Structure formats: C-alpha cells, structure tokens
Amino acid sequence: MDELELLKKDWNKNGDKYPKLSYDEIYKMILKKSSSIVKWIFIISLLEFVFWGIISIALKDTESMQRFKNYDADKIIIPLTIFGYIILAYFFYLFFKNYKTISVTDSAKVLMENILKTRRTVKKYVAFNLIYLVFSTIVVLFIEFDKDAELINQVEQASANGEVFKFYAIIIITTLLLLAVAVGVLLLFYWLVYGLLLGRLNKNYKELKKLEV
C-alpha cells in the first residue's frame, strides 16, 4: 500500500515537528499527581468500603438496635456481625491484592484485565452487602414479630379484626420498597461513576478480545 509507506516515511522524518520540552519542564511534571482511572477506582473503592462501614456502625447505635439487645437475640446478631466483618476483611484483602498487581508495564490486555478484576472485587463486595442487607432485614423482622410486645399486640389486634393478612402485606411491601430504593440508588451510582470511568476501557477491552475469536 503506497499511501501507508508514504505515511511511514513522513512519520519518521519528524525532527523538529514536535515540541521540545526541557529538562526542567519534564522534572516539574514528575512531581505532579496522576489523574489516571486506576487512581480514581482506588479512591471510589475505598469510599465504598467506608460507606458500608459507616452504615453498619450507624445502624448499631439506633434506638431499635438498643431495644434489640433486650430481646436476647444475641445468638443471632453476634454471629451475623462477625460474619459481616470477616467478609469485609476478605474483600479488603482481595481488593489490595488485585490493586497491587496492576502494572502499567504489562501488556495492554493484561493491564485491562487486572483493572477490571479490581473493579469486580468491589462490585462483588457491594452485591454481598446488598444481599446481607436484605437477609438481615428479614431476620430482624422475624425477631421483631417474635419479641416486640407492641408489634405482637398489633398483630393480635389485626387478627381480631380479621385483617392480619393486610397487616403483614403492608409491612412486607414497605420493607421491599425501602430495599428497592436503596438498591436503585446504588445502581444509579454505579451506572454513572463506572460508566464514565470505565466506558473507554471496556470498549477497548472488547476490541482486543474480539481479536481472539
């Protein structure tokens, strides 16, 4: 192809076509901070860990949780809490291990894979939290129905009026709605942040993968 040869010739005789940065200019550059997507993914991932950490701590001190202590439900709540922390530690370890393997000197494909792996770890952690949230809510509801005097009273009243089904339906629907809102907000967050951050990487990764088929 003649044109390509022509291009190659022009490409390589570029002597003073480019800006020539001085030693000092380059030196100043190495002192600046990177704004690469890896850095952003790292920051956002840490924020996600912090976010879920704050949520679990915040829930612990609420009035209903304090009331919970009186229910003698420790044998359920303590294992659940410990389990939550073990999983958190595990994901934290995985995240850092993956993050450390990201190296700009790998081949393009390996680099992309490692970034996506790091990102997937955090995604799994959030998925775990959502499942954990749903599961805990169900457990808490059961305990409440079993122990909360006021609630038991209400249930009895409802069944006396023949509205026990309606009563349960309202509680279940409200709970589901709240959970759906929480999940919805998180999904929106993901769609926005990671869509912006990883759109290009995903596109290029697909392009590279296509070559292997």
Partner 1 sequence: MKKELEHNFVELLEKHQNIVHKVCRLYTNNQDAHNDLFQEITIQLWKAYPKFRGDSKFSTWMYRVGLNTAITLYRKNKRRIKTEEFDAFQYKISAEAYDDSEEHQLKLMYKAVRQLNDIDKALIFLYLEDKSYKEISETMGISEVNARVKMNRIKTKLKTILNP
Q: Total binding residues for partner 1 by CB under 8 A?
A: 50
> What backbone torsions phi and psi does residue 14 show, to the nearest 5 degrees?
-105, 10
The alpha carbon dihedral of 75, 80, 81, 83 has a sign of positive
Decide: helix, strand or coil at residue 93: helix
Residues 6+ apart with CB under 8 A from 143: 68, 71, 73, 76
70 binds partner 1 (CB under 8 A): no
Q: Which CB, 13 or 75, lies closer to partner 1? A: 13
115 binds partner 1 (CB under 8 A): yes
> What backbone torsions phi and psi does residue 203 show, to the nearest 5 degrees?
-65, -45
> Which of 70, 75, 103, 160 contacts partner 1 by CB under 8 A?
103
140 binds partner 1 (CB under 8 A): no
Q: Using CA atoms, how far apart are residues 111 and 116, in angstroms rounded to an integer?
A: 9
- 166: tokens are 């309606």
> Which of 37, 87, 134, 151 contacts partner 1 by CB under 8 A?
37
Which x/- pattern, by CB under 8 A, does the window 7-26 give for partner 1?
A: xx-xxxxx--xxxxxxx--x
Residue 34 has what DSSP assignment? P
107 binds partner 1 (CB under 8 A): yes
Residues near partner 1 (CB under 8 A): 1, 3-4, 6-8, 10-14, 17-23, 26-27, 29-30, 32-38, 40, 103-112, 115, 197, 200-201, 203-204, 207-208, 211-212
